[in-house]
Every structure is written in structure tokens, then in C-alpha cells.
Amino acid sequence: MSKRAEADDRGRIVIPHEIRERHGDRYRVVELDDRVELIPLKDDPIEGLRDAVGDAFDGRSIDEIKREAREAAREDATDDTSE
């Protein structure tokens, strides 16, 4: 589906009803080199993450996933500063 939308004088864009019905009311705005994309956000961000990565997190709690992500980020930051 393709729809046309224009920003008003305050920079607001109205997302057509049919699209909001299908994808919801919350979106992440992503600026790329040649375009801007709206990525629908799920009410439960972990559910969206699970949808994106399949069964990679099955059987693991949100706390475990968060802890591992923080540890990986800490390791990456340490590696970046030691190079």
C-alpha cells in the first residue's frame, strides 16, 4: 500500500487510518541516506524483538537478555578504548 502524506506548517504528518489500524499508533522514524522510514513499534518491545529474531531468546527471561546485552556493550566499549 502506498499513500501520500504532507507535513503541515508544524511538521506533523497524519498517518492514514488504514495504516494505523494495521500497524498501530507508535512508530520509530529512521532517517536513511535517501529516504525516511517509519517502523511500527509494538506495545511490548520485547515481543517485537522476539518477532525479529525468532526463537533465539526462547526460554530466557527479559532480565537475562538485558544482562547479556549490558555485558556485551561493556565488553565492546572496553575493546574500543583499549585499541
What is the tens place of the pLDDT at every residue in 38-77?
888 877 766 766 676 777 777 888 888 889 889 988 888 8
| Band of pLDDT at residue 13, cut at 50, 70 and 90 | very high
Q: State the alpha helices, DSSP H only, in 1-83.
A: 17-23, 45-53, 62-82
Cα angle 68, 73, 75 (rounded to 5 degrees) comes to 95
Rounded to two decimals, the pTM is 0.49
- Which pLDDT score, from 0 to 100, does residue 83 have? 58
Domain made up of 1-41: CATH architecture: Ribbon (2.10)
User: Where exactly are the structural domains of the chain?
Assistant: 1-41
- Which pLDDT score, from 0 to 100, does residue 43 have? 75
